[in-house]
Amino acid sequence: MAGHGRLDEALASSRRAQEVDPLSLVNNAVLGWGLFNKRQYDQAIEQYRKTVEMDPNFPLVRLWLGMAYEQKKMYEAAVAEFQKARELFEDEPIGLAALGHGYAVAGRAPEARKVLEELHPLRKRGRYVSAYYIATIYAGLGEKDQAWAWLEKSYEERASWLSNQFKFDPRFDSLRADPRYHDLLRRMRLE
């Protein structure tokens, strides 16, 4: 629902699911994600913290908590959450990519570039690293043309994050004024 612009409906559904099963880690995390997508970052952080209390080793909620901290410009806290998410995700590139974006927006460009130096060879060796993840790092670095190049690769890959999140992902706010933004949404039939 969220990917198609029905954020209110998605959030209401998440609230109902969490009320039905308040001990479900997934329901609690997804409720936070709905709040995040509505850009209610304080409420999202509060929900994620509750979920972390339920299970501090749930990697997805650590990742999402870091993303919410980023939007509040709490970069130190965001990087700490991304480091924890990377650890918990183990070999999954999503945690590493989030850390790279966190470094980029925190003004730690050399560290963000080091993450890119880790991700690019993984792709070349055939490991699935979503182009969307790489695009977020370039967007965080302010390298818009590189971000667009990787978003195009993401489109070609039919990356799930692109179709489900791109329209709302605050990490790409700096790209929304670019005509390529609306063109990409149109090609995905999201506009």
User: Average pLDDT for residues 86-102, to the nearest whole number?
Assistant: 94
**CA atoms in the 13 A half-sphere facing the CB of 25:** 11
Using pLDDT thresholds of 50, 70 and 90, give the confidence band for residue 186: very high
Cα 96–chain centre separation: 12
Mean pLDDT of 90-114: 96
Q: What pLDDT band is residue 177 in, cutting at 50, 70 and 90?
A: very high
Torsion of CA 100, 77, 159, 165, to 10 degrees: -140
Q: Residue 130: pLDDT above 60?
A: yes
Number of CB atoms found within 10 A of residue 87's CB: 13
Does residue 1 or residue 80 have the better pLDDT?
80
Least confident segment among 100-104, 106-110, 159-163, 174-178:
159-163
**Token pair of 152 as six digits:** 């195009």
Percent of the chain whose predicted confidence (pLDDT) is above 70: 95
- Residues 118-143, mean pLDDT to the nearest whole number: 95
Q: Does residue 138 register a pLDDT over 80?
A: yes
CA 160 from centre of chain: 12
Instruction: Answer whether residue 137 shows pLDDT above 80.
Output: yes
pLDDT value of residue 3: 45
* Angle at alpha carbon of residue 41, lines to 35 and 47, rounded to 5°: 60
* pLDDT(146) > 50: yes
pLDDT at 166 exceeding the cut of 50: yes
Whole-prediction pTM value? 0.90
Distance CA 103, CA 81 (A): 12
> Could you tell me which residue, 33 or 136, shows the higher pLDDT?
136
**Residues 63-90 pLDDT 10s:** 999 999 999 999 999 999 999 999 999 8
Beta-carbon contacts of residue 19 (< 8 Å; ≥ 6 apart): none
Residues 51-59: what's their mean pLDDT? Answer: 96
For position 5, what pLDDT does the model report? 58
Compute CA 158 distance to the chain's CA centroid, rounded to the nearest angstrom.
16
